[in-house]
Amino acid sequence: MPAANVDQQSLRGFLRMVEQDFPDEIVRIRAPVGLGHETTALVFELERAGKRPVVLFENVDGGKMPLVTNVAANRGLLAACLGVTPEDLPTAFRERCQRYIPCELVKEAAWNEVVIEGDDVDLTKLPVPLQFKVDAAPYITGGQLSARDPVSGVDTTGFHRFMLRGKNRLGVSLHSGRRMYEYYRRAEEKGEALPAVITIGIHPLHYMGSMVYAYPPNVRKFEIIGGLFGEPYRLARTATAELEVPAGAEIVIEGEILAGVREPEGPFGEFTGYASYRSTQNVFVAHRIRMRADAMYHSVVSGMSRDHIQVSCITREGEILNALRRNLPNVRAVHVPHTTCGAFLAIISMKKTADGEPQMAMMATFGTELYTKQVIVVDDDVDIFDMNDVLWAVATRVRAEKDIVLIPGAKGAVLDPISDPENFTLTKMGIDATRPLGRDFAERLVIEEADRARARAILAQAGINL
Ligand SMILES: Cc1cc2nc3c(=O)[nH]c(=O)nc-3n(C[C@H](O)[C@H](O)[C@H](O)COP(=O)(O)O)c2cc1C
């Protein structure tokens, strides 16, 4: 039996916490559901109604294996994983992901209960849903890909989309161009395949930690995830290049990313809200599947769902704030909205003490996060979590000829549909929406809190309770 702490670091441990402490935030669907677009449509319907529960499909595709989804859509649940309030989530995340805690290697893992090898490997038996009509095939969307740098030996872990191409063959795209892309490039340069393992069914803190990208090259991402747990992350060793993956996972797929092989991959419904036809077109071949005897299948809802984007907002807010605070202690907060795909726009609040500081903040942001292509800097009287307030500041404080900075030819995201289709560059734009310093500027209209309270009391007497 795995140790209790392994269990607490697992998807199961998370589901138990939700069931015990937030019973209204988990929905069990017992009705039979197919692998068409039903699971995606159901979660988007919930989102439209403002609901973000974890969803457990108990009878999907004939009930072979339960499917759990929408695990990371709910800010309150993510905050609970760190033991903080939703308001404190970005700060707590930012602080803890800088405490690297060495991992602990455990001997036993529940995913060794079932081992399928060689010709018996059949990934089509997993309940992999087709998420959007446009998707080229069913996609594994909750797979954490782990591999080791062929040069330094340091490993990494991160979500990558996997297109189901056959019993043991998956299309994979390494477009985010971070460590996995570089590790693969180094292996391929030597003419070698990259041994790799896909882990399905992990705790949301693993999801969050895996999205961190600004950290020293000798640090393992599993050590960052340990920092989020506040204790060593328990890993167990696989038979593929001795790669280590979470001992509490549900399903482990061992294999390799082939060198010198490219096959069509996509289209796939991406976080941009568009069908994406762009891909690095790599190929993963599976040699072995290990899983718990009662394994659950975890799927991340793709497209612009909260499940797909929420963690990106939080991690980018944390990473950008960390970078800015090194040089600009007067930066108050950063917001990366869901509306702009959790990636493309960052809004920065600062107490400006000198002209030119907003421009420093813009450049530091673009140097930190390649996906971000627009930055708006506002004074600290503007609520950066309220787009109405931000757009009001842009409308009333921006002198277009002075306050807009354009950086042409900058590296953008491969999946950004407006980036150059050949080299993925684009023009980045910074907007300084702060008031000019050192001269009179129109005074902002405000209604004092005492007047507001009095107004509410008068309205209450008139039978209108706000
Ligand atoms: C649900 C989800 C799916 C993702 N799919 C991909 C993908 O298919 N390819 C990719 O390169 N990055 C993808 N990403 C982003 C990477 O996981 C992220 O950039 C990560 O930090 C990369 O880790 P690495 O440094 O190990 O490469 C995805 C992120 C999420 C949340």
Give the global pTM.
Answer: 0.95
Our count of domains for the chain comes to: 2
Q: Return all residues near 6 (Cβ < 8 A) that are at least 6 apart.
A: 106, 109, 234, 247, 248
Nearest residue CA, atom 21 of ligand 1?
211
Domain housing 379: 327-433
Inside any domain, residue 165: yes
**Residue at which a domain ends, from 269, 286, 302:** 302
Please spell the DSSP secondary structure of 134-164, one letter per residue.
T-SS-EE-SEEEEEE-TTT--EEEEE--EEE
- Rounded to the nearest 5 percent, the helix, strand and coil shares of the chain are 30, 25, 45
Q: Are residues 332 and 298 in the same domain?
A: no
CA of 308 to the centre of ligand 1 (A): 10
What's the pLDDT score for residue 5?
Answer: 87
Q: Are residues 219 and 364 in the same domain?
A: no
31 and 173: one domain? yes
175/220 Cα distance (integer angstroms): 21
Tell me how far the alpha carbon of residue 359 lies from the centroid of ligand 1, in angstroms. Answer: 29
In whole angstroms, what is the distance from residue 461 CA to residue 354 CA?
48
Question: Which residue CA neighbors atom 29 of ligand 1 most closely?
Answer: 159
Residue 132 in any domain: the answer is yes
* Helix, strand or coil, per DSSP, at residue 343: coil
Does any ligand 1 atom lie closer than 6 A to the CB of residue 179? yes
Residues 52 and 171 in one domain: yes
Task: Tell me, yes or no, whether 16 lies in a domain.
Answer: yes
Residues 169 and 268 in one domain: yes
The per-residue pLDDT for 338 is 96
- For ligand 1, mutation pick of 144, 145, 159 (most atoms within 8 Å of CB): 159
Note the Cα 272 to chain centre separation in Å: 13
Residue-level pLDDT at 106: 97
CATH value at residue 405: 3.40.1670.10
Residue 438 belongs to a domain: no
Q: How many residues does this entry show for the chain?
A: 466
Atom of ligand 1 nearest to the CA of 308: 1
- Say if 12 falls within a structural domain: yes
Q: What is the rounded distance in angstroms from the CA atom of residue 93 to the CA atom of residue 316? A: 11
The answer on 282 and 223 residing in a single domain is yes
227 shares a domain with 164: yes
- How far, in Å, from the CA of 178 to the mean position of ligand 1? 8
Asked if residue 443 belongs to a domain, the reply is no
Could you tell me if 297 and 429 lie in one domain?
no
Q: Say yes or no: 333 and 271 in one domain.
A: no
Question: What is the rounded (10 degree) CA torsion for 239, 110, 311, 65?
Answer: 110
- Residues 274, 345, single domain; the answer is no
The ligand 1 atom at the shortest distance from the C-alpha of residue 183 is 27
CA 291 to centroid of ligand 1, rounded, Å: 23
**How confident is the chain (466 residues) per 10-residue block, as mean pLDDT?**
78 98 98 95 97 97 93 97 92 92 97 97 97 97 98 98 98 97 98 98 98 95 98 98 98 98 98 97 98 98 98 94 94 96 98 97 96 98 97 98 97 97 97 94 96 98 96
Residue 110 lies in a domain: yes
Let me know whether 364 and 287 are in one domain: no
Q: How high is the pLDDT of residue 3? A: 55
CATH code, domain with 130 = 2.30.110.10
The confidence score (pLDDT) of residue 1 equals 46
Has residue 368 been placed in a domain?
yes
CA atoms within 13 A on the CB side of 142: 29
Same domain assignment for residues 341 and 296: no
Q: Is 44 in the pocket of ligand 1 (CB under 6 A)?
A: no
> Which among 348, 340, 290, 298 is positioned nearest to 159, based on CA atoms?
298
